Structure 1
């Protein structure tokens, strides 16, 4: 009798624990320490209520703004922007190992080979890390050792050029991503209005016959998202608040649509930042800093976008946002209002709705789900 009672108690405990784990989505928040933050925040989202809890903060790294987990979720990498007095190149790329509880343990760091490192990605085979630097206009490739630490950069590319906007007097590499379907790396350069295309092999960056896709003058490409087929790329443009849709035809990439992220009656100042797909790939979202909203688009069968409207972010300066792996929640990192706001996504209409939940955190600028 006692044995059965103990067994039932153990079963109930394990069931409750499993349910609790299923109701929690863990995530990391990259921040700007020179705007009041202390490091990388580790948080939990209740996927039933939308409530966020700060679990801990990993300190000791300057401005760990953009974060990227490796494919196996065993290692994480961040960019770190510093002053020239600390590091003449202007920053680092940093490697961490994750423990079984999501804790971060510093492995090593390498110089960023350009000031203002702002974006990072990990290759699908986790053998390489790539970063982009805004101030230096460089892209760099770092081999990853078996223990997750980084070797010195194997390849560094210095972009060249400028464009028509006052913020485009020099190159500003603002994002970088590995393709999962071909040996290519793409990088958006805000300063030159180009989506650069690199051939990638054995850690080396080369050039295809088509070196880049030229976007509208003064647009300022910032981030981009691959369509699920990876035959179309959607680039969000910071300086003119648009999204450019780029399609591959044969061996050539070209723009086939430019669409605004703002309502027609808005006449204020606004700058786009981040871009993400819904889980099912039917909707695309972009953030507007200034208008302080999330723009919502329907992706049509021909891959063109239809503007559905905007949703206020309940904060100021939405630099980054993320959609939970289950596709049900959107978290918006509002840099200037120092908060993360939580939205429930209507999976039938694609529209996010503010849940009423938020958390105060200094200078949040990146969301990375575990």
Structure 2
């Protein structure tokens, strides 16, 4: 009897230890992955993948598609197996749009197709919600193009729309400059922000049409604002728009293609006299906070919090940790923000307080030549 009890005890201890080991073996540290677009100076540079494992203090970046010229914007489909980028060619007219296959086992990219962007200096890409169409904004060309994506990821050009007009700043607004194109969450509309004409154009989008885009209306910004980037709320009822040249954040209602200004917030003090260059706007995953980056002499990140009345207020301004924060992104759980600082050639990690939205810079950063866009994988 004693021997049986002894054996039972040994079995229980063995099972407990085995369970602990099994738990240890199956607990995998969380790694966040991003595609990183850059400006390039040689063939060894190109598209990159950044992997961030906070529990191990690991922040690693590697080039996964060298030789591409200045892929300043990059995105992927929801499965992460198709990647779309561009070549913002600097010294010759034109640019390219490229689709690629992505292997996640050993991060690599292989080209599927390459087409002209049909305009100079392409700078922004957008996927339709069904991931069957792609648009590219051509900054210097003052136009944007639409493409159909087939099952294998190859692109077919459908349409190019040319903007006309100018605004009050003759140095930067003597002609159209389409800076971004963004689909509404329901896929019915495409918004095109034009820095050169101080307008955000709203286009109807009909997937079945030979030329799917037709102009609906436009939202006129203040003269000299320079509309740059936008982001929709998940329900499609609001648009957050940043004005590059006047350093302002605008919150607009969006209803059946019509935009109405609800709130305008400055990113600098009234008496500020230095250079500005508002760049990116992002919503936190819980949509309680808006984040905006500002370049020029500011080099910071502004944090806005949603109040009980639905309006937003500024709660923090913090250094981007580097120079020229052209782009940044948050992790999918909202616990971290990564800032890509173009001129200081680094990507800096911030911790985000998920209750308040405020940021704290960590000691983690990684060097990379001219990082200018971060696309979060795994969404």
Structure 2 contact 128–187 (Cα < 8 Å) conserved: no
Structure 1 contact 45–52 (Cα < 8 Å) conserved: yes
Q: Distance in 1 between matches of 2:160 and 2:20?
A: 55
Of the candidates 163, 167, 175, which is equivalent to residue 167 of structure 2?
Answer: 163
Partner of 2:143: 138
Gaps of 5+ in 2: 1-13
Query: How many residues are paired up?
Result: 361
Q: Distance in 1 between matches of 2:48 and 2:21?
A: 32
Partner of 1:154: 158
What is the root-mean-square deviation of aligned Cα atoms in Å? 2.6
**Alignment pair present for 1:187 and 2:192:** yes
* Structure-to-structure mapping, 1:94-105, within 5 angstroms: 94-101=98-105, 102-105=107-110
Of the candidates 62, 65, 69, which is equivalent to residue 69 of structure 2?
Answer: 62
Give the SS at the match of 1:48: helix
User: Using a 3 Å threshold, how does the CA distance of structure 1 residues 316 and 324 change in structure 2: closer, same or farther?
Assistant: same
* Structure-to-structure mapping, 1:1-370, within 5 angstroms: 12=21, 15-16=24-25, 18-20=26-28, 22-34=29-41, 38-48=45-55, 51-83=58-90, 85=92, 88=93, 90-101=94-105, 102-151=107-156, 153-165=157-169, 166-202=171-207, 204-209=211-216, 211-249=217-255, 252-264=258-270, 266-290=272-296, 291-370=298-377
User: Using a 3 Å threshold, how does the CA distance of structure 1 residues 215 and 26 change in structure 2: closer, same or farther?
Assistant: same
- The structure with the largest alpha-carbon Rg is 2
Q: Distance in 1 between matches of 2:311 and 2:43?
A: 41
Gaps of 5+ in 1: none
The alignment's TM-score, normalised by the length of structure 2, stands at: 0.88
Q: Distance in 2 between matches of 1:36 and 1:344?
A: 34
Give the SS at the match of 2:41: helix
Q: Distance in 2 between matches of 1:14 and 1:319?
A: 42
Q: Distance in 1 between matches of 2:232 and 2:69?
A: 30
Structure 2 contact 177–197 (Cα < 8 Å) conserved: yes
